């Protein structure tokens, strides 16, 4: 079980890391938000994130986790007890919010509970089509659909936002990291539609695209 710990307090970082490893968890620990952000491209089973971090804050990191990992659970640890901050953390997808100071045994209990109830990484899109958010593979009639890297990124972004419109600007930033113009997204969606007819991708007023589950 792989866990990433992002905490800038070196003493607390070391303490949590040592306890987790003593319990058999594989841990990658970071004290800098910018360095942690790069590591999120890897697959982790759980993210433990402090909100107050140097260079890149916990909220931005949580957004990145949801873009890349989708259903991977997040535990936020923070000294901040403002209700608006707590609600924002939950809005960004955290499964639990632990107020500092806390006992490490409490964190272990939360981790155990979350990992026991961790949902499957496969999302059923239609009767014969599913998407694995961890491996980022589309399975059609039991076989992997051949998608390019950018097609996979577009599909992943749509699946992670099922039922919501992904704007052209969001897609451009996620896939290319820059403004590419609406034509690039439109061409990518067109290619996806041809390859995966089992999945319905809707155009939303020319401003973006939305994927809906086939009930």
Q: Which of 150, 202, 211 is nearest to 176 (CA)?
A: 150
Domains 2-116 and 122-211 share a fold: no
pLDDT at 119: 57
pLDDT tens digits for range 79-104: 998 999 999 998 888 889 999 999 99
CATH number of 122-211: 1.10.10.10
Strands 46-50 and 26-30: unpaired
pLDDT tens digits for range 152-209: 998 888 888 887 888 888 888 888 887 666 678 888 888 888 887 767 788 877 788 8
pLDDT at 102: 92
pLDDT at 79: 92
pLDDT at 135: 78
pLDDT tens digits for range 15-34: 999 999 988 899 999 999 99
Whether the pLDDT of residue 112 is over 60: the answer is yes
Torsional sign, CA 213, 135, 30, 74: positive
| Span 41-50, average pLDDT | 86
Neighbours of 80 (CB within 10 A): 16
pLDDT at 118: 60
Q: Which CATH architecture group holds 2-116? A: 3-Layer(aba) Sandwich (3.40)
Domain boundaries, the chain: 2-116, 122-211
| Span 209-215, average pLDDT | 75
pLDDT at 164: 83
pLDDT at 179: 66
Per-position DSSP letters for 34-95, written without gaps between them: HHHHHHTTS--SEEEEESS-SSS-HHHHHHHHHHHHTT--EEEEES---HHHHHHHHHTT-S
- Contact status, residue 36 vs residue 74, Cβ threshold 8 Å: no
pLDDT at 117: 65
- Contact status, residue 166 vs residue 210, Cβ threshold 8 Å: yes
Q: For the chain, what is the mean pLDDT?
A: 85
Under the banding of pLDDT at 50, 70 and 90, the label for residue 126 is confident
Return the SS3 of 137: strand
pLDDT at 127: 79
Q: CA-to-CA distance for 108 and 52, rounded, in angstroms?
A: 21
């Amino acid at each position: 079980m792989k866990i990433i710990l992002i905490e800038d307090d070196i003493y607390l970082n070391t303490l949590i890391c040592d306890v987790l490893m003593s319990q058999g968890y594989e841990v990658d620990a970071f004290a800098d938000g910018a360095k942690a952000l790069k590591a999120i491209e890897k697959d982790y089973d759980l993210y433990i994130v402090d909100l107050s971090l140097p260079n890149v804050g916990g909220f931005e990191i949580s957004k990145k986790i949801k873009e890349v990992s989708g259903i991977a659970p997040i535990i936020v640890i923070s000294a901040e007890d403002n209700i608006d901050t707590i609600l924002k953390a939950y809005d960004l997808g955290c499964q639990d919010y632990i107020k500092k100071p806390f006992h490490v045994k409490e964190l272990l209990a939360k981790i155990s509970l979350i990992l026991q109830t961790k949902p499957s990484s496969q999302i059923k899109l239609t009767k014969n089509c599913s998407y694995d958010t961890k491996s980022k593979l589309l399975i059609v009639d039991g076989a992997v659909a051949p998608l390019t890297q950018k097609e996979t990124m577009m599909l992943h972004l749509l699946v992670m936002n099922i039922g919501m419109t992904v704007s052209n600007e969001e897609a451009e930033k996620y896939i290319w990291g820059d403004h590419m113009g609406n034509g690039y997204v439109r061409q990518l969606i067109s290619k996806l539609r041809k390859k995966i007819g089992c999945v319905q991708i809707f155009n939303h007023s020319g401003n973006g695209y939305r994927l809906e589950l086939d009930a």
